[in-house]
Amino acid sequence: MGFDDEVDQLKRELQMPKMDAAGLKSATAALHGKLKDKIQSRRLEFTLNDGAEPSIAITHLPGKEKLATITINEDSSVTFQSTLGEDQAEDDVDDGGYFPPYVEYYDEDEFLEEAPEMLKQGIAEFELDQEDVD
């Protein structure tokens, strides 16, 4: 695909209708179910917050530490935002701790494809560091 074709494709994507509040809640609830089905773990809990700004919280169960938040945007993209290492993230944009500080995925399929590996790596590092503290 050439440059002009990519610009045309991007224009079509930008013209797509934006999701309203009910659509965001529905899409977040659907992603929550898919995420729980895809990643079944005794280490992680995925909690749906279906308030005014729907999101999914990822919590590490043994310590009840909140690791990240996932939101769906009006354009159907998915945002993963780490809550760990926020102090580091302000100083060094490339290092948000155990997970990338902020990643926006084109859609839920891309997120669901990449999330398991990202979470495995981050959880392993997080747990090793927790063992060193104890």
32-80 pLDDT, tens per residue? 999 999 999 999 999 999 888 999 999 999 889 999 999 999 988 999 9
Q: What residues pair up with 68 in beta bridges, in sequence order?
A: 58, 82
pLDDT band, residue 13 (cuts 50/70/90) = confident
Mean pLDDT of 120-129: 91
State the pLDDT at residue 90: 46
Residue carrying the six token digits 């809550």: 83
Rounded CA separation 86/109 (Å): 27
The model's pTM is 0.79
List, as one string, the DSSP characters of 42-67. Answer: SSEEEEEE-SSS-EEEEEETTTTEEE
Contact assessment for residue 44 and residue 123, using Cβ atoms and an 8 Å cutoff: yes
pLDDT band, residue 118 (cuts 50/70/90) = very high
